[in-house]
Structure 1
Amino acid sequence: MLVEKNAPLQQYNTFGIMARAMNLVRVQSPQDIPDFLAQPPLGASRQVVVLGGGSNIVITGDVEPTVFKMEIMGKRLVEETDKHYIIEVGAGEVWHEVVAWSLAQGYPGLENLALIPGTAGAAPVQNIGAYGVELQDRFDSLDAIDLSNGQHFSLQAAQCAFGYRDSVFKHAPAETMPLTMIARATGVAEPRGMGLAGRAVITHVRLRLAKDWKPELGYLDLARKQAEKGIEHPSAQDIFDWVVEIRRAKLPDPAQIGNAGSFFKNPQVSADQCEDIIAREPKIVHYPMLDGSIKLAAGWMIDACGWRGKSIGKAGVYDRQALVLVNLGDGEGSVTGGEVVTLARAIQTSVYERFGIQLEPEPVVW
């Protein structure tokens, strides 16, 4: 365990926003967390924020809570059944590298999730997803640590309350039930009442990958890529390569242009709501969901409101994908978190006034 005082955070967030952490703890093993919690200066308040790849945060100033920077590594096959491979990865592993490693080992199933920025430990928090696959579709279980007492516990999929870009880790605790009781609970009717935001830190994630692999090609971009390549029966590696090509063509590399990936969630509405919007906006891009709801393309709506390529201060809307906000500054002249938030709110207002839809940001604001 390494503890740094007044640590710069610009290199640890993909937006490249300048800020400092009063206390930054490099968590390199699960035991580092209870060891640190047992020491001052954290005290009784135990205010902690967790930093993975820094790809889903907007920092609006210096960070007073202790920052746990997750650096727990490791990738391994922990179990093989007749039907599945179960792999375990440390929370600090880069997600894209996990996807590439799993394919190299002969464990397909994550290829549609290639090139999503961030670390493995953040993947369940956000229930990351792309091109027809969400983490919950491949999830087995996870290990975490209770910040109130330093105890280890595990959660299965149902206990994580996965939703669209959502999980129990994004909701504030509604009660003080010990996490060991939550971990033992079964058949919970309303698991979000047991929100774990700020209350637990994920240390390891286990994924269940089917041996009877089938390609997921339902998204239009993948169907176009398949037709372009002329491959009737693509392999998992083919899909991985296509997803990487598609994402690189659409999204800026954070190493070149600071950003946090897709900034807004694609909103879901009822079929009746969608029909009403289509009556006013016939060209709106939308996708039917299995539960009967309709997913609307947030990027299309932002583009339709004229925001593509526009900026407020040094916060801009990417000129090749309106769903992405970017840092138009650099170094000490970097964008501020305040500028990003101001731009995001202006976009939300425009979309609401035109479509009656309130866009929800994906990144967490510190």
Structure 2
Amino acid sequence: MNLSNKIQNSFKVKSHCTEIFKVHTVDSLVSKGKGGLFTSKTSIVGGGYNIIPRSFVDGLVVQSNLSTIETTEDDNSHVLVKVGSGVVWDDLVGFTVSKGYLGLENLSLIPGSVGAAPVQNIGAYGAEASTFIQTVHCYNLKTGIFSDLSKDECEFGYRTSHFKSKPELFICYVTFRLCKSNLSVKELINSTKYSKLEFLKDTFRLIRLSFKSITLKFSPRPKIKFSFSCIRDILTLCILPAKIKRKIVSVIRTKTLHNPDKIGNCGCFFKCPILPNAEFEDLRNQFPEIEWFEHDKQSVKISACWLMKNTNWAGKKANNVLTDTKRPVVLLNAGSATGEDVLHVMSQIQHDIKSKFNISLEAEVVVL
């Protein structure tokens, strides 16, 4: 084992692998493939923000350093931007906002790389990356064949995609179709024409939500408090400039999420389970206080935080892993956790929730 082959990860567990190959050019990727070095033991990682590696990963780990950003088409209403998979995601968001290319601003400050965005179909505050992805340009490590997958071919879903079942697909570039006006963003998200009347309604919604989001507290000392739930609703409005949205999201994420540079974590560790309406009604009859959100007409999304709080996992420490008190879906490295420690705690949480609610809690992170 070569101890220099460290697998960097935001959970800060110590991990090494047989070999790490960093892709600086597509040609180098092809050359490596021709050498027959990509096998079933090959793993692909992005920026290391959504993975839990075991202490030793037996095999080759491939990581993208492709870092170009190129505007390939530009018309009156939309623009196509082709981005290297090794680009830091938030750097891309900052670039697009500065250029006036709209759509990704609600996804500000999400850690990780551009190449990981399609795999997880990252999302936040009413937006998902898949809405703005036009093409994902891939290289198959098994066959050595390049392919360009359309949005439909990517089979995007809630925090999932075609790439979850095809780990041999190395994402080289992602082409995004971005908008030049907030009106176009709204129409793209809703797949419907946005009338001037709706634009006017959004103006009144913004005023109402702005007042609703602010409360004045007098104890123990006077201070203004903001309701993040109202601010999240504000972020869905099309009349708010992208630069302001990006600033708001950055403030919220900074205040509510743990900085992985200070304490090891992967952000939200688990997905919110999705249940069919009939199954949910049965569950709500047993647990009337259950927290849930609308998903679509046939199903609802259950709060993973609520499930963990009601199985006594909020603020609990086990095997050097700590669950956040307010948002237990966020697991934290208490100081010296190993990958195996994290996986053991993950299994315990899943077992407890299955036993009490008969719900299978799925991890959002990727295990190496």
Query: TM-score per shorter chain, which class?
Result: 0.7 to 0.9
Deviation of the 1:232 alpha carbon: 10
Which one of the candidate residues 165, 189, 206 is aligned to 2:175?
206
| 1:86-105 matches, cutoff 5 A | 86-105=80-99
Kindly indicate whether residue 367 of structure 2 is the aligned counterpart of residue 365 of structure 1: yes
1:222 and 1:113 map into 2 onto residues whose CA distance is 16
Aligned residue type for 1:87 = V
Which one of the candidate residues 276, 296, 306 is aligned to 2:312?
306
Give the 3-state SS of the residue equivalent to 1:63 in structure 2.
Answer: strand
Residues 339-348 or 311-320, more deviating: 311-320
2:233 and 2:104 map into 1 onto residues whose CA distance is 22
- Bigger CA radius of gyration: 2
| 1:214-293 matches, cutoff 5 A | 214=183, 224-225=230-231, 233-293=239-299
1:94 and 1:315 map into 2 onto residues whose CA distance is 27
Question: Paired residue for 1:16?
Answer: 12
Question: Paired residue for 1:133?
Answer: 127
TM-score, normalising length: structure 2: 0.83
Q: Sequence identity of aligned pairs in percent? A: 31
Give the 3-state SS of the residue equivalent to 1:97 in structure 2.
Answer: helix
1:288 and 1:273 map into 2 onto residues whose CA distance is 14
Runs of 5+ consecutive residues of structure 2 not aligned to the other structure: 187-201, 214-226
Aligned residue type for 2:341 = E
Which one of the candidate residues 132, 149, 152 is aligned to 1:158?
152
1:107 to 1:228, Cα distance in 2 relative to 1, 3 A: closer
Aligned residue type for 1:213 = N
1:353 and 1:292 map into 2 onto residues whose CA distance is 25
Write out per-residue CA displacement over residues 57-104 of structure 1, whole angstroms, 9 at most, x where no aligned residue: 111121122111211101221111333111111101111111111101
Aligned residue type for 1:359 = L
1:49 and 1:82 map into 2 onto residues whose CA distance is 41
Write out per-residue CA displacement over residues 297-344 of structure 1, whole angstroms, 9 at most, x where no aligned residue: 111211222211111121111233111111111xxxx21111111111
| 1:40-59 matches, cutoff 5 A | 42=37, 45=39, 47-59=41-53
Question: Paired residue for 1:294?
Answer: 300
TM-score, normalising length: structure 1: 0.83
Write out per-residue CA displacement over residues 92-130 of structure 1, whole angstroms, 9 at most, x where no aligned residue: 111111111110111011011112111000111111111
Deviation of the 1:233 alpha carbon: 4.1
Question: Paired residue for 1:185?
Answer: none
Aligned residue type for 2:301 = K
The 8 Å contact of residues 182 and 241 in structure 2, kept in 1 or not, is answered as: no
Deviation of the 1:249 alpha carbon: 2.0
1:228 and 1:38 map into 2 onto residues whose CA distance is 51
1:226 to 1:34, Cα distance in 2 relative to 1, 3 A: closer
Write out per-residue CA displacement over residues 175-209 of structure 1, whole angstroms, 9 at most, x where no aligned residue: xxxxxxxxxxxxxxxxxxxxx22x22001001111
Question: Paired residue for 1:339?
Answer: 341
Kindly indicate whether residue 31 of structure 2 is the aligned counterpart of residue 35 of structure 1: yes
Runs of 5+ consecutive residues of structure 1 not aligned to the other structure: 172-195
Kindly indicate whether residue 286 of structure 2 is the aligned counterpart of residue 317 of structure 1: no
Aligned residue type for 1:14 = S
Question: Paired residue for 2:136?
Answer: 142
